[in-house]
Structure 1
Amino acid sequence: MAAKPIIIGVAGGTGSGKTTVAKEIFHQFNEQSIVLIEQDAYYKDQAHLSFEERLLTNYDHPLAFDNDLLLDHLKMLQEGMGIEKPVYDYANHTRSSEVLSIAPKDVIILEGILILEDDRLRDLMDIKLFVDADADIRIIRRLVRDVQDRGRSIESIIEQYISVVRPMHLQFIEPTKRYADVIVPEGGQNQVAIDLIVTKIRAIIEEKAIL
Structure 2
Amino acid sequence: MVQKPLVIGITGGSGSGKTTVSRELVRRLTADGSSAILLQQDSYYINQSEKPMSERILTNYDHPDAFETDLFVSDLRRLSRHESINKPIYDYEQYTRSQEVESVGPADVVIVDGVLLFNDARVRDLLDMKIFVDTDDDIRFLRRLERDIEERGRTVHGVIEQYLATVKPMYHQFVEPTKRYANIIVPEGGENLVAIDMLANQAKAMIKHAK
Deviation, 1:79, is 1.8
Instruction: Give the corresponding residue for 2:60.
Output: 58
Instruction: Give the corresponding residue for 2:51.
Output: 49
Deviation, 1:123, is 0.4
1:67 partner letter: T
Deviation, 1:129, is 0.2
Structure 1 unaligned runs (5+)? none
The answer (yes or no) to whether the contact 2:86–2:104 under 8 Å persists in 1 is yes
2:182 partner letter: A
Matches within 5 A, 1:125-164: 125-164=127-166
- Count residues in correspondence: 209
SS where residue 19 of structure 1 aligns? Answer: helix
Query: What do the CA deviations read for 1:84-127 (whole angstroms, capped 9, x no partner)?
Result: 00000112211111110112111000011010111110000000
1:178 partner letter: R
Q: Is 1:200 equivalent to 2:202 in the alignment?
A: yes
The answer (yes or no) to whether the contact 2:7–2:80 under 8 Å persists in 1 is no
Instruction: Give the corresponding residue for 2:22.
Output: 22
SS where residue 156 of structure 1 aligns? Answer: helix
Question: C-alpha separation between the residues in 2 aligned to 1:60 and 1:171?
Answer: 10
SS where residue 34 of structure 2 aligns? Answer: coil
Superposition TM-score, scaled by structure 2 size: 0.96
Structure 2 unaligned runs (5+)? none
Instruction: Give the corresponding residue for 2:167.
Output: 165
Query: What do the CA deviations read for 1:14-64 (whole angstroms, capped 9, x no partner)?
Result: 110101110111111112111000000010111222222211111100110
Query: What do the CA deviations read for 1:54-85 (whole angstroms, capped 9, x no partner)?
Result: 11111100110111101111111122221100
Matches within 5 A, 1:103-114: 103-114=105-116
The answer (yes or no) to whether the contact 2:20–2:190 under 8 Å persists in 1 is yes
1:18 partner letter: K
Query: What do the CA deviations read for 1:109-161 (whole angstroms, capped 9, x no partner)?
Result: 00110101111100000000000111110000011011111222111111111
Q: CA RMSD in A?
A: 1.1
SS where residue 176 of structure 1 aligns? Answer: helix
SS where residue 48 of structure 1 aligns? Answer: coil
Question: C-alpha separation between the residues in 2 aligned to 1:119 and 1:205?
Answer: 24
Q: Is 1:38 equivalent to 2:40 in the alignment?
A: yes
| 2:126 pairs with one of 104, 121, 124 | 124
Query: What do the CA deviations read for 1:170-209 (whole angstroms, capped 9, x no partner)?
Result: 1001111110000000111111111111111111111111
Question: C-alpha separation between the residues in 2 aligned to 1:132 and 1:105?
Answer: 28
The answer (yes or no) to whether the contact 2:93–2:153 under 8 Å persists in 1 is no
Question: C-alpha separation between the residues in 1 aligned to 2:94 and 2:17?
Answer: 26
Question: For structure 1, which segment, 155-164 or 123-132, has the greater mean C-alpha deviation from structure 2 after superposition?
Answer: 155-164
SS where residue 49 of structure 1 aligns? Answer: coil
Instruction: Give the corresponding residue for 1:8.
Output: 8
